[in-house]
């Protein structure tokens, strides 16, 4: 019918609109044209330490028969600039298989391992899928990177339900985040700033930790156990399509507002490498860092694509 968008047109428009002026990290899970499960993830960064990373394909500790995707420091001579290394280095994609069924997990942080650990511990119960999401995210908070408090996002697929994709997001309580930011403003009026904690011999990471501890005390909050909301989704997807979750809203390059709304439909049609390049071309040139992807073929066989990295591992 004239004037009615097709699913592929909607999916392409969604991707373009959601990535507009957005330095987000993201995940997308769905099906290739031939019905194989497919996962894509990417990282971006605004500061040099955040950009000083690359994806690397490694042996998967959780399942030695397949490979995993892990972030690595690109140039080890550079300083982390006050960012906790645990938030920079993690397994983005991992797999668990008990010989009968497989579960493939993708995320933007170390909660990939939390999900795999939960599934492994409960595999005798028959892979409780929502339980895996709850197990990975219910005990986790948003990332402790004030004042941004980046959301944690996670996607999961299993051989039991090939057409189902499971996604979850953990976001900071907006009231608590607003209170933290207001506390920073009021502390600044009293000359309590990040610079006021800089001392000779103190590393950038120690300065950040000391400053955040002071804001914790003044705000009555704990950035390491920050109040967070969790939402979980279960979709059925058609071949050639996926659903994506981002950490930030579009047009929030300066404010880094948390993602709002539900996972959105994205195009997955074509070769994995071509789809990765399509996503890559839509990312902000100044902020994009790496993108990785994999297809999960018959009987759980994983084909990991070579990552696209803007910065080479030295």
Domain borders along the chain are 7-167+228-309, 174-225
Q: What was the pLDDT predicted at 126? A: 57
Confidence of residue 123 (pLDDT cuts 50, 70, 90): low
Query: 94, 116 in Cβ contact below 8 A?
Result: yes
> What is the side-by-side order of every strand in the sheet holding 102-107?
53-59, 67-73, 91-97, 102-107, 152-158, 164-172, 228-236
Mean pLDDT of 259-269: 97
Over residues 58-106, the pLDDT tens digits come to 887 767 777 889 999 888 877 766 677 777 889 999 998 877 778 899 9
Which stretches of 63-133 are assigned E, i.e. beta strand? 67-73, 91-97, 102-107
Average pLDDT, the chain: 90
Specify the 3-state DSSP secondary structure of 123. helix
User: What is the assigned CATH class of domain 7-167+228-309?
Assistant: alpha beta
Is the pTM value of this prediction over 0.85?
A: yes
How far is residue 247 from each of residues 61, 104, 123, 210, 253, measured CA to CA in Å?
26, 20, 29, 26, 12
Over residues 202-251, the pLDDT tens digits come to 888 899 999 999 999 999 999 999 999 999 999 999 999 999 999 999 99
Structure tokens at 306: 């070579």
**Is the confidence at residue 128, as pLDDT, over 60?**
no
Taking the C-alpha atoms of residue 190 and residue 179, their distance in angstroms, rounded to an integer, is 17
Spatial CA neighbour of 170 closest among 120, 118, 221, 109: 109
How far is residue 26 from each of residues 60, 160, 219, 243, measured CA to CA in Å?
21, 25, 30, 11
Over residues 23-51, the pLDDT tens digits come to 999 999 999 999 999 999 999 998 888 88
Q: What was the pLDDT predicted at 1? A: 45
Mean pLDDT of 144-164: 92
Long-range contacts of 270-276 (CB under 8 A, 24+ apart): 270/33, 272/32, 272/38, 272/303, 272/305, 273/305, 273/306, 275/38, 275/40, 276/40, 276/305, 276/308
Taking the C-alpha atoms of residue 197 and residue 191, their distance in angstroms, rounded to an integer, is 11
Q: What percent of the chain has pLDDT over 90?
A: 68
């Amino acid at each position: 019918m004239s004037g009615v968008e097709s699913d592929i047109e909607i999916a392409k428009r969604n991707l373009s609109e959601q990535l507009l002026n957005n330095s987000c990290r993201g995940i997308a899970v769905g099906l290739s044209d031939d019905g194989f499960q497919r996962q894509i993830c990417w990282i971006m960064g605004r500061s040099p330490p955040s950009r000083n990373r690359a994806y690397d394909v490694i042996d998967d500790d959780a399942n030695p028969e397949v490979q995993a995707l892990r972030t690595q420091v690109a140039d080890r001579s550079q300083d982390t600039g006050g960012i906790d290394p645990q938030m920079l280095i993690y397994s983005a994609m991992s797999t668990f298989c008990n010989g009968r069924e497989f579960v493939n997990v993708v995320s933007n942080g170390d909660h990939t391992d939390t999900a795999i650990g939960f599934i492994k511990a409960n595999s005798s119960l028959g892979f409780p899928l929502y339980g895996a999401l709850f197990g990975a995210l219910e005990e986790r908070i948003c990332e402790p990177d004030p004042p941004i408090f980046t959301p944690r996002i996670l996607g999961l697929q299993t051989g039991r339900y090939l057409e189902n994709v499971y996604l979850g997001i953990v976001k900071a309580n907006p009231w608590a985040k607003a209170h933290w930011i207001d506390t920073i403003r009021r502390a600044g009026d009293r000359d309590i700033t990040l610079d006021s904690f800089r001392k000779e011999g103190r590393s950038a990471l120690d300065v950040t930790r000391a400053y955040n501890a002071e804001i914790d005390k003044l705000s009555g909050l704990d950035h390491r156990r920050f109040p967070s909301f969790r939402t979980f989704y279960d979709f059925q997807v058609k071949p050639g399509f996926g659903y994506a979750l981002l950490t930030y809203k579009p047009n929030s390059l300066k404010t880094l507002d948390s993602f709002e709304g539900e996972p959105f439909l994205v195009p997955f049609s074509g070769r994995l490498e071509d789809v990765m390049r399509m996503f890559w071309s839509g990312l902000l040139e100044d902020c994009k860092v790496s993108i990785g992807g994999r297809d999960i073929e018959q009987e759980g066989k994983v084909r990991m694509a070579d990552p696209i990295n803007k910065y080479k591992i030295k």
